[in-house]
């Protein structure tokens, strides 16, 4: 089975389990998704979702965040890892959004990548889920681990490799497929391997 054939089979199986999956971060617009994704770096989506309702109620627009006291933002997100740096980046990113983008989150990889605290992974989440404009594949720890277990790529050039074998109309979903699958069936911890729906496709067998 080629990597392309295996990828098609993975998509076939996981699209039945998770039809058109999106980020687990609760949001109502591109700004909320951007900020929630920035907060979620090295922090669980579940924790972020407990903090964002109050945060977004207090700061509903990019201008509100840009004008806010950074210490106030930091206090509201203090449960996330590196909350002080994230608060500074959120305020700085929103200042750029207001001054250079008319208060609207940019809908391009270049525009998003230029924002403080926004790397390619965050930009991909926003482009894929908020704008339905996939420019790449979201790569998180689950995707890295499972893409290697499935023999699809290596850690150094994972997104590039996946973009070559995943059909472009699936870029928006593929990272989410593996993330949801990794959380539910194939965790990094020891688990019931025989229940994994993709177990026959693994090249890295569990011990």
Give the pLDDT confidence of 106-144 residue by residue, as tens digits. Answer: 999 999 999 999 999 999 999 999 999 988 999 988 999
Q: Which residues are catalytic?
A: 121, 140
Residues of the chain with CATH 1.10.1670.10: 3-22+137-201
Question: What pLDDT, in 10s, does the model give residues 17-67?
Answer: 999 999 999 999 999 999 999 999 889 999 999 999 999 999 999 999 999
Q: Give the pLDDT score at 190.
A: 80
The torsion angles phi and psi of 9, rounded to 5 degrees, stand at -70, -40
Helix axes 171-184, 141-149, angle to 10 degrees: 90
Q: In CATH, what number does 30-130 get?
A: 1.10.340.30
Instruction: Say if residue 143 is exposed, middle or buried (CB neighbours under 10 Å; 0-12, 13-18, 19+).
Output: buried
Compute the chain's Rg from CA coordinates.
Answer: 18
Instruction: Say if residue 155 is exposed, middle or buried (CB neighbours under 10 Å; 0-12, 13-18, 19+).
Output: exposed
Q: Give the pLDDT score at 204.
A: 62
Q: Give the pLDDT score at 123.
A: 96
Return the CATH number of 3-22+137-201, one of 1.10.1670.10, 3.40.50.11060, 1.10.3720.10, 3.40.47.10: 1.10.1670.10
Q: Which of 50, 30, 35 is nearest to 91 (CA)?
A: 35
CB 151 within 8 A of CB 204: yes
Residue of 195 and 16 predicted with greater confidence: 16
Determine the Cα–Cα distance for residues 14 and 29; give it in Å rounded to an integer.
Answer: 26
Q: pTM for this one? A: 0.86
Residues of the chain with CATH 1.10.340.30: 30-130
């Amino acid at each position: 089975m080629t990597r392309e054939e295996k990828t098609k089979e993975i998509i076939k199986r996981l699209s039945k389990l998770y039809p058109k999956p999106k980020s687990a971060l609760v949001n109502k617009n591109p700004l909320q998704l951007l900020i929630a994704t920035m907060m979620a770096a090295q922090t669980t989506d579940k924790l972020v979702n407990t903090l964002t309702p109050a945060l977004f109620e207090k700061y509903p627009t990019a201008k509100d965040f840009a004008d806010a006291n950074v210490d106030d933002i930091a206090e509201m997100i203090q449960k996330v890892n590196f909350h002080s740096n994230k608060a500074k980046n959120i305020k700085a990113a929103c200042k750029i959004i207001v001054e250079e983008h008319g208060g609207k989150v940019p809908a391009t990889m270049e525009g998003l990548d230029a924002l403080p605290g926004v790397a390619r992974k965050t930009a991909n989440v926003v482009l894929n889920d908020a704008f339905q404009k996939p420019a790449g594949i979201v790569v998180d720890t689950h995707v890295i681990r499972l893409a290697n277990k499935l023999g699809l790529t290596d850690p150094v050039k994972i997104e590039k490799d996946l973009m070559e074998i995943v059909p472009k109309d699936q870029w928006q979903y593929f990272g989410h497929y593996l993330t949801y699958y990794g959380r539910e069936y194939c965790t990094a911890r020891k688990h019931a391997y025989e229940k994994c729906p993709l177990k026959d496709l693994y090249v890295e067998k569990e011990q």
